[in-house]
Structures are given as C-alpha cells and as structure tokens.
Amino acid sequence: MALRRIPLAPYPHTTQQSELDGVTYSFRFRWSQRAECWHMDLRTLDDEPVALSVRLVHGFPLLRRVVRATRPAGELYMLDLTGRCEDPNLE
C-alpha cells in the first residue's frame, strides 16, 4: 500500500472519484453548517455504500469501523498539511 493524497475542492458539497489500490471509488464531501464539520460518504462506482457520513477528523483512521468487503485496503486519514493539526473547516 502506498500513501496517496486526495485533494479536495473548497466547496461545501462536492463529489469526486479517486483510485485506491486499483479500485475507483466515489467520494462525497459535505459541510455541516449545524455541526461545523465535514462529512464524507464513500461508495463504489456501482453506488454501493462503503462508509456513510464519516466525520473528517485530523489524524484519526476514518475507516476504522468499516468491515464491508468493498472497503479499500489500508486506511484513510484526514491530515492538516498546514502543520496546525486542526480539523478541516470551510475556509
């Protein structure tokens, strides 16, 4: 497994596809104004849910509790590349 960076668009609701270990997945990112945090949905290209409404938290294994067969190998982390080690915000 290799380390892979998945860049995000700075919009409150965005969908993109990214390849992880040879399999393409659909990512949906959305900003919760009420909770003031980002959530992620991860699905296969057949629209089968892998992980839904996962809160993006800095340095935490985002797929830790996912046991589905469609789960990508390895782990996903949200990292703050500014060096402040903060959870992402809308800015």
Task: Give residue-wise pLDDT tens across range 38-74.
Answer: 999 999 999 999 999 999 999 999 999 999 999 998 8
Q: Which amino acid is at 84?
A: R
**4 has pLDDT over 60:** yes
Q: Are 38 and 31 in contact (CB under 8 A)?
A: yes
What does R_g of the chain's alpha carbons equal in angstroms?
Answer: 13
How far, in whole angstroms, is CA 45 from its chain's centroid? 15
What mean pLDDT do residues 9-31 have? 92
Percent of the chain surpassing pLDDT 70:
98
Burial of 33 (0-12, 13-18, 19+ CB in 10 A): exposed
pTM above 0.85, yes or no: yes
**1 has pLDDT over 60:** no
Q: Is 25 helix (H, G, I), strand (E, B) or coil?
A: strand
